[in-house]
């Protein structure tokens, strides 16, 4: 039997017969490792302990202490255990697919009756019985004919379709958890008892079309979450409860910010309060861009398909574009246009007007660009995922030698903006060249080195995502962390050597010859809609005073103070504050409660005493008690607090 060499993380290598399993490798090192092993990593690929290893490589044995592989296996095994539990409880249910997802998994089922909350409890109980049984997990490779016959005999039409979708010549891997079997790539744990029985929970049921196709059957999708231990599960469930309280859709209704309706799916109807937040955020970003030497432009929303064909978006992005057909007078055919899904091709058109010199670079063109992208109805989620949105978009045209400096400048701008908006922490991921790409290796070397150099020059930590760059260049993605620990990917910085070439962008260099500029795509917030949703949830609706749509409500305690209330409101507005009067014939406690639900940060209560003293009783949102201040003093303090952070 031929020999292979396996190299361990410490650099030592051992010879093994070809076909050795990772379980056997673990046993050859130490009995304790064999007992604790759950899987292995072979040349960076996650593999099952049962799979034969046929070639030399670098290997690491994983245990439950290795968080990433452990969570993948726990969640993947639980998907199978849940499907087994469902079919044991209701044998007529048909199974489909059950992938791992963020924090857990889901599995889609074809069942005539809807699953109920009581059903989820029964499924959880059966899952714990399966885990306690410590049933062995085994795997085999089957050919297509055997797999098809197996699923046809058992009346599993969805599995039959999945088998038929697998390319010819590719082996099919089968897994058994006890006597229950599923088609799966793996890897998996070695027995059901390795799953922590107290660290998972089924959360909810939703509808899902088979393979995401609205013309196919509607299935029932059961979601679950799972972790390595009970404490991690408890912390996650607590976070979910807090997230539900902060849901921007709920707060949007309470604060009267926006709404959606069927006549314009995925398009936001901004109410005065919500539009106030939008305008303040836009004004803030405009000031920051002006100081960073960006030139603001505005480009059309409807553009002929010819431009999208030239840019490559028509071929790559057509299914996500809204098409506009126009009957041009005298034309034999309709003219086909599209609502722009992104701004970059139009920005190149602005750049191309007039001959550019190397002295004009870098040229930073910014646009609060209105874009439209088709999102499936099931994918839309409040402000977080919409069909119509505005990006704080910009494109920097520069030379190759200017990439690093522009990247450093952008990171400085982004970190300052995030801090102003209340986000102290963000992570950076550098995505490098994918297998399918344009441009020479020499250009990719320069671009990747420039991005890497800019991050390191600023002393910022980052992770590398090998092969995850755009086809036209490497990119940086920026993930900010909110008040309850959730991560949101918002900012991005991308190097593009492709679009300038496709759209014939040029500049005259020092040598008098024409050269192609590098195009840097960048955004700080991403879309205004999504970022406002993130802000609402981060602050639980209690926005900083400068962003709050209703900054001050002046409420009368008795009707004799009504005239003074209006004078106070006028003085606040004169000072530039957003203020309103509440002189309704209601008790002051009722008014305070109502405006607190609406997340008004400052409520001024005014009675006869305040009229006489020309003062106000200031109540702060979520603070006990109130503070009596002279009117001028109160206005001065609020004006200072309501000044945007970049103007202080």
Cα 244 to Cα 101, 150, 184, 257: the distances in Å are: 19, 44, 34, 18
Query: Is 501 a residue of the active site?
Result: no
Question: Is-contact 305 312, C-beta < 8 A?
Answer: no
Of 276, 258, 270, whose CA–CA distance to 550 is shortest? 276
Whole-number Å distance between alpha carbons of 169 and 150: 18
With CA atoms as reference, report the closest residue to 420 among 148, 577, 647.
Answer: 647
State both tokens at 468.
Answer: 């995850």
Task: Indicate the burial class of 640 (C-beta count within 10 angstroms; 0-12, 13-18, 19 or more).
Answer: exposed
The answer to whether the Cα torsion of 396, 398, 404, 408 is positive or negative is negative
Q: Which two tokens stand for residue 226?
A: 């799972």
Active site residue 475: yes
Q: Could you give phi then psi for residue 181, rounded to 5 degrees?
A: -125, 150
Q: Which of 340, 521, 550, 595 is catalytic?
A: 521
* Catalytic annotation, pick one of 181, 220, 391, 494: 391
Q: For residue 464, which of 481, 445, 451 has the smallest C-alpha distance?
A: 451
Among the listed residues 373, 452, 515, 591, the single catalytic one is 373
Q: What CA dihedral angle connects 148, 154, 157 and 161, to 10 degrees?
A: -20
Residue 515 known to be catalytic: no
Q: How many CA atoms lie within 13 A of 150 on its CB side?
A: 15
- Calculate ∠ Cα 182-185-188, nearest 5°: 75
Residue 209 in 3-state DSSP?
Answer: strand
Catalytic residue among 188, 288, 395, 515: 395
* Token representation of residue 484: 């309850």
List alpha helices for 203-247, DSSP H.
Answer: 230-246
- Active site residue: 77, 108, 392, 393, which one? 393
Cis peptide before 362 (omega within 30 of 0): yes
- Where would I find the H helices in 441-578? 441-457, 499-502, 528-538, 562-574
Question: Do residues 29 and 61 touch, judged by C-beta distance below 8 A?
Answer: yes
Burial 475-514 (b: 16+ CB within 10 A, else e): bbbbbbbbebebebebbbbbbbbbbbbbbebbbeeeeeee
The answer to whether residue 395 is catalytic is yes
Distances from the Cα of 121 to the Cα of 125, 229, 241, 461, angstroms: 6, 20, 19, 44
50 part of the active site: no
Active site residues: 344, 373, 391, 393, 395, 475, 521
């Amino acid at each position: 039997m031929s020999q292979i060499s396996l190299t361990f993380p410490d650099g030592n290598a051992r010879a093994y017969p070809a076909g050795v399993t990772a379980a056997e490798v673990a046993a050859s090192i130490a009995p304790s490792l064999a007992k604790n092993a759950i899987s292995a990593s072979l040349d960076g690929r996650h593999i099952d302990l049962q799979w034969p290893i046929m070639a030399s490589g670098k290997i690491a044995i994983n245990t439950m202490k290795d968080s990433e592989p452990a969570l993948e296996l726990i969640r993947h095994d639980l998907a199978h255990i849940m499907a087994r539990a469902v079919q044991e409880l209701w044998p007529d249910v048909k199974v489909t697919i059950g992938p791992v997802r963020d924090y857990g998994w889901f599995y889609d089922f074809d069942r005539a009756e809807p699953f109920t909350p009581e059903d989820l409890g029964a499924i959880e109980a059966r899952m714990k019985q399966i885990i306690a049984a410590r049933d062995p997990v085994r795997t085999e490779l089957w050919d297509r004919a055997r797999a098809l016959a197996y699923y046809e005999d058992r009346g599993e039409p969805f599995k039959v379709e999945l088998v038929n979708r697998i390319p010819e010549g590719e082996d099919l891997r089968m897994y058994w958890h006890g006597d229950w079997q599923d088609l799966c790539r793996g890897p998996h744990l070695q027995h059901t008892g390795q799953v922590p029985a107290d660290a998972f929970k089924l959360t909810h049921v939703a509808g899902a079309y088979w393979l995401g196709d609205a013309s196919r059957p509607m299935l029932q999708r059961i979601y679950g979450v799972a972790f390595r231990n009970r404490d991690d599960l408890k912390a996650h469930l607590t976070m979910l409860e807090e997230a539900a309280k902060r849901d921007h859709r709920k707060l949007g209704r309470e604060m009267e910010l926006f709404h959606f309706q069927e006549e314009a799916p995925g398009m936001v109807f901004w109410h005065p309060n919500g539009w106030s937040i939008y305008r303040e955020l836009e004004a803030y970003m405009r000031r920051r861009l002006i100081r960073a030497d960006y030139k603001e432009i505005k480009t059309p929303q409807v553009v002929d398909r010819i431009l999208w064909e030239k840019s490559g978006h028509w071929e790559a992005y057509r299914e996500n574009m809204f098409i506009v057909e126009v009957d041009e007078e005298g034309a034999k055919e309709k003219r086909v246009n599209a609502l722009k899904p992104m701004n970059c091709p139009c920005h190149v058109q602005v750049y191309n007007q007039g001959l550019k010199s190397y002295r004009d670079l870098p040229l930073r063109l910014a646009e609060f660009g209105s874009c439209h992208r088709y999102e499936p109805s099931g994918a839309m989620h409040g402000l977080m995922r919409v069909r119509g949105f505005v990006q704080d978009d910009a494109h920097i045209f520069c030379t190759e030698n200017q990439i690093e400096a522009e990247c450093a400048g952008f990171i400085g701008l982004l970190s300052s903006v995030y801090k102003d908006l209340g986000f102290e922490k963000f992570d950076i991921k550098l995505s490098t060249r994918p297998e399918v790409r344009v441009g020479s290796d020499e250009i990719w070397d320069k671009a990747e080195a420039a991005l890497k150099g800019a991050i390191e020059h600023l002393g910022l930590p980052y992770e590398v995502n090998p092969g995850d760059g755009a086809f036209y260049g490497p990119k940086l993605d920026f993930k900010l962390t909110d008040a309850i620990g959730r991560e949101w990917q918002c900012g991005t910085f991308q190097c593009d050597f492709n679009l300038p070439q496709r759209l014939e962008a040029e500049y005259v260099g020092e040598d008098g010859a024409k050269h192609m500029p590098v195009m840097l795509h960048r955004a700080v917030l991403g879309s205004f809609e999504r970022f406002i949703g993130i802000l609402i949830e981060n602050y639980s609706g209690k926005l900083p005073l400068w962003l709050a749509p209703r900054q001050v409500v002046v409420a009368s305690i008795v009707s004799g103070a009504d005239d003074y209330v209006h004078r106070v409101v006028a003085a606040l507005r004169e000072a530039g504050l957003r203020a309103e009067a509440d002189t309704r014939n209601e008790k002051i406690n009722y008014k305070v409660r109502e405006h607190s639900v609406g997340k008004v940060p400052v409520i001024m209560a005014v009675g006869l005493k305040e009229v006489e003293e020309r003062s106000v009783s200031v109540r702060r949102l979520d603070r006990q008690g109130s503070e009596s201040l002279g009117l001028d003093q109160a206005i001065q303090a609020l004006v200072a607090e309501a000044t945007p952070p970049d103007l202080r």
